Copies of this chain bind each other. A is one copy, B any other.
Amino acid sequence: MSEINWSESEKKGAKEAFDKAYEREINSLIEEVRQKASNISEIDQLWGLHDFLSAKRHEIDGKYDYRYSELIFVFARLLKEGWVAREELKVLEGDKLAKISALARM
C-alpha cells in the first residue's frame, strides 16, 4: 500500500494517531526508566538498565516507521500493544481498519 492509497483526511488522522502513540509509549518508557533508576543499588542493576535502554531504543527506532507502505503493520502492532486505541483509527477507511484489526489479533 503506497501513499496514493491514503486520502488527505486519512493522512492527517494517521499522523495524529501515530504521534499520540509515540508520545504515550515514550512517556511510559521515561516513567519506567525513572522508576528503575531510583531502585538501582548495584552495578549489575546499572548495566541492566543500560541493556534495557539499548533494547528499547532499538525497538522504538524500528517500530515507529511512518512510511505509508508500512503504516498498516505499524498501527496493528501499536494497537496490539495498547499504544493506540481503535477509536483513534476511525478516520481510516474500512478496509485499512479491518486489516489493522486482523493483524493486531494475530
Contacts and interface: CB of A to CB of B under 8 A. Distances in A.
24 contacts: A26-B43, A26-B46, A29-B46, A30-B40, A30-B41, A30-B42, A30-B43, A30-B46, A33-B40, A33-B49, A34-B37, A34-B40, A36-B37, A37-B38, A38-B38, A46-B53, A47-B57, A49-B53, A50-B50, A50-B53, A50-B54, A50-B57, A53-B53, A54-B54
A38 B34 contact: yes
Interface of A: 26, 29-30, 33-34, 36-38, 40-43, 46-47, 49-50, 53-54, 57
A interface secondary structure, majority:
helix
Contacts of A26: 43, 46
